[in-house]
Amino acid sequence: MFDFFKKNTFSIIYTFFLGIMPLMASSSITYWVIFHEKEIQTWALFSWVLVFLFACLSMAFALTPTTFVALLSGYFLGWQAILPVAITYGLASIIGFKVAEKIDGGRFMALWQHKPSVQQLIANLQKQEFKIIIFARLSPVLPFAVSNVLLSCAKVRLQNFVVAGFIGMLPRTLLSIWLGTQAQAIKTLIQHPSQGNSTQFAFILLVVVSVYGLFSLVKKALQAPQ
């Protein structure tokens, strides 16, 4: 275990950083947005292009949560936010994936070279990587940037990462944009994004489906012939 932390120190610190940064950065952005709401509502196309370019980098490096971006986009742009949000998510995921790949440098997978049982488990899981990516992205609980790192270190194929990631992110993205379109005030939306029994049920359902799906795939991999 000590050897694991020693060889992956920077990757672990980077992952921890990605886990806590969204909470810190989104608080500052929330404060600014609340006091500039009327100005934001007058923004032209070019301003929104810049916003989504910034969001692409901010989500990739965990400065803003993906749900936060979708909520605000839905509030200010309505359903026309779907396309730019989807493109932004895709670009952010690729950036996060590639940066994590450079940081890890293959060290995570190399740790298991002398442990055949672990290698076999990983090999079994890799056969199901498309489904694993979908379930990992489906959960509103697992941070977007952290899952980028974990999936990158696990050496999933980039094509599967992008396509399955889009499929997995779509339900919670649509839900968040819809919540944004229904909000009457930006402050209420940000402070109580899942207000309402139906919304809370939807979020809980996504978490349950995600956890059950991942658990089933891991269980199947463990029971597969060695």
Range name among 5-14, 33-42, 154-163 with the lowest pLDDT average:
5-14
pLDDT value of position 139? 85
Banded pLDDT at 22 (limits 50, 70, 90): low
> Which helix (DSSP H) or strand (DSSP E) does residue 224 occupy?
none
pLDDT at 7 over 70: no
85 is written with which tokens?
A: 């949000």
pLDDT value of position 191? 65
**Residue 106 φ/ψ region, left for φ over 0, alpha for ψ in the -120 to 50 degree band, beta for the rest:** left
Mean pLDDT score of the chain: 82
Tens of pLDDT, residue by residue over 98-137, are 988 888 777 777 776 677 777 777 777 888 999 999 999 9
Banded pLDDT at 224 (limits 50, 70, 90): low
What is d(CA 123, CA 135) in angstroms, rounded to the nearest whole number?
18
pLDDT value of position 6? 52
Top mean pLDDT of 13-27, 131-145, 157-171 is at: 157-171
